[in-house]
Amino acid sequence: MIAHCPGCGYSIMWRQSVYSHVASSAACLLIIFKSNQLNIHFCYVINKFCLLEMPNGKKSNKRRHEQISEPEKQTVLKQTKRVVTKTFTSQIDLAQENDSFKENDSDCCCSSSEKKVDFVQLEMKLVVQKFGPLSKAKALKLVTPYFNDPGQDKIIKSNMFIGAHVSVKGGVDNAIENIQKLNGRAVAMFLRSQRQWNAKPLTDAVATNFRTLCEKYNFKSHQILPHGIYLMNCGSPDAKLRKQSADCLLSDFQRCEKLGITMLNFHPGSSTGKTPIDSSIKHIAEAVNLVLSKTKGVTAVLENMCRQGYTIGGDFHELRSIIDLVDDKSRVGVCLDTCHAFAAGYDLSNEDGYNSMMNEFESIIGIKYLKGLHLNDSKGECNSHLDRHEHIGFGHIGLDGFRRIMNDKRFCNIPMVLETPPDDGVLYENEIRLLYNLIE
């Protein structure tokens, strides 16, 4: 029996674990409450019985299989709301005991005498739990963007196309509607299963519907940056794996042609430590030249890496070397991943580090080759070589780092895609709004 938390999507298999999860995760409770999702889409263990809505829409009760009546449903919801509110109130009390939240704080959004649920206050408490004691001003600076609607005028005038990597479950054509639900203006997705080499054929019906939805929602090709599967290694010293990778890359380029997509982003590859870096770079360029010679209108977008292991692309010179070996330079570019850059040694948390990265990118690669941006904070520290994505503002890059990015006109009119963890309570829609609110 499995339940999925509507706050974070976490899959829970045991009834007691379900309640423990929601009771211990204030972030999930907060999102459930704020989005009015306090209903039987989540498995609540209250008063000895459990309600669960299965993926097929049918209701299941492990302890009692008879139909659950509407009065019973309403009873359990009321009881759950009482428990949740009590949990929230106790958190407010704890927060107000902290020196950062004293009653005489002029910015405080609720006094110690108030026992009602205040979501800004609660989210500040979550921030304190995440970062340790903070000043009220700093906590508010971190959380208030989540609650603001930036407004369509600001979004459109910014020429910033912010979106997310979305699921294509049920067909790649679902990506456009999925990103619309998040109010995103850019989208990334896999064009096939990322876990296996074999892929189902892309049908004419799916391709036609994808193009139709793009037209319906006015989604242009420069707002779409699909991702190649992670199994590929075009720089491998193993000739068999290189061929398999090149064939896979070609297949994805052909899918792009059919869908009307003009870019495909992928990880360059790895030398695996068994071949010189120059040889690996040559192999990657050969794969790019092959797919470009057999397709039309699709640009190969290389992603910078974090210098983990023997990966190619953590050094901008490596990306430039690949570009130099590509025959058609009008169809090659680079996607910058902020987490990868930070982990590779560019300290985006401060202005000097950010300027250093952008100056090196311009001088070594050239800004004309910048085709996209992956927006990810970093769980690892600068120069850690760890590819561990974190939610915007909650990692070592921090909000100030992303504020610089959002106000840099060099990122206008290219897809800017979130790849932050999808399963721990922070919704892409909130992060998209946060990023637009950082534009000054």
Instruction: State the pLDDT at residue 89.
Output: 46
| Angle ∠(190,169,155) on CA atoms, nearest 5 | 65
Residue 86 has pLDDT above 70, yes or no: no
Residues 6+ apart with CB under 8 A from 2: 11, 12, 13
Q: How would residue 58 be classed by pLDDT, with cut points 50, 70 and 90?
A: very low
Residue 126 has pLDDT above 90, yes or no: no
The 8-class DSSP code of residue 285 comes to: H
Residue 353 has pLDDT above 90, yes or no: yes
- Angstrom distance (rounded) from CA 198 to CA 83: 48
Instruction: State the pLDDT at residue 391.
Output: 83
User: Which stretch, 65-69, 109-113, 334-338, has highest mean pLDDT?
Assistant: 334-338
Question: Which residues form the catalytic set?
Answer: 195, 227, 230, 267, 303, 337, 340, 374, 387, 389, 419
Residue 119 has pLDDT above 90, yes or no: no
Task: Answer whether 0.85 is exceeded by the pTM.
Answer: no
Residue 281 has pLDDT above 90, yes or no: yes
- Angstrom distance (rounded) from CA 239 to CA 271: 12
The mean per-residue pLDDT over the stretch 135-149 comes to 55
Instruction: State the pLDDT at residue 116.
Output: 36
Instruction: State the pLDDT at residue 389.
Output: 93
Instruction: State the pLDDT at residue 104.
Output: 33
Residue 79 has pLDDT above 80, yes or no: no
Instruction: State the pLDDT at residue 165.
Output: 96
Provide, rounded to the nearest whole percent, the portion of the chain with pLDDT above 70: 65
- Angstrom distance (rounded) from CA 289 to CA 114: 66
Phi-psi region of 209 (alpha: psi -120 to 50; beta: other; left: phi over 0): alpha
Q: Which fold has domain 152-437?
A: TIM Barrel (3.20.20)
pLDDT one-digit tens code per residue, 365-424 = 999 999 999 999 999 999 999 999 988 887 899 888 999 999 999 999 999 999 998 754
| Run of H or E including 176 | helix 174-181
Positive or negative CA dihedral for 271, 277, 282, 284? Answer: positive
Residue 354 has pLDDT above 90, yes or no: yes
- Angstrom distance (rounded) from CA 198 to CA 285: 24
Q: From the CA atom positions of the chain, what is the Rg in Å? A: 24
Instruction: State the pLDDT at residue 394.
Output: 76
The mean per-residue pLDDT over the stretch 39-60 comes to 35
Q: How would residue 28 be classed by pLDDT, with cut points 50, 70 and 90?
A: very low
Instruction: State the pLDDT at residue 31.
Output: 41
The larger pLDDT score, comparing residue 62 to residue 278, is at 278
The larger pLDDT score, comparing residue 28 to residue 436, is at 436
Provide, rounded to the nearest whole percent, the portion of the chain with pLDDT above 90: 56
Locate CATH 3.20.20.150 in the chain.
152-437
Report the Cα 298 to chain-centroid distance in Å. Answer: 24
Instruction: State the pLDDT at residue 144.
Output: 56
Residue 5 has pLDDT above 80, yes or no: no
Residue 107 has pLDDT above 50, yes or no: no
pLDDT one-digit tens code per residue, 189-248 = 999 988 899 999 999 999 999 999 999 999 999 999 999 999 999 999 999 999 999 999
**Owner of token pair 């049908």:** 203
Positive or negative CA dihedral for 107, 111, 114, 115? Answer: positive
What are the counts of helices (DSSP H) followed by strands (DSSP E) for the chain? 15, 14
| Run of H or E including 46 | strand 44-46
Residue 285 has pLDDT above 80, yes or no: yes
The mean per-residue pLDDT over the stretch 138-147 comes to 54
Instruction: State the pLDDT at residue 405.
Output: 97
CA nearest to 167, candidates 159, 176, 175: 175
The mean per-residue pLDDT over the stretch 238-261 comes to 97
pLDDT-wise least confident of 12-16, 129-133, 166-170, 264-268: 12-16
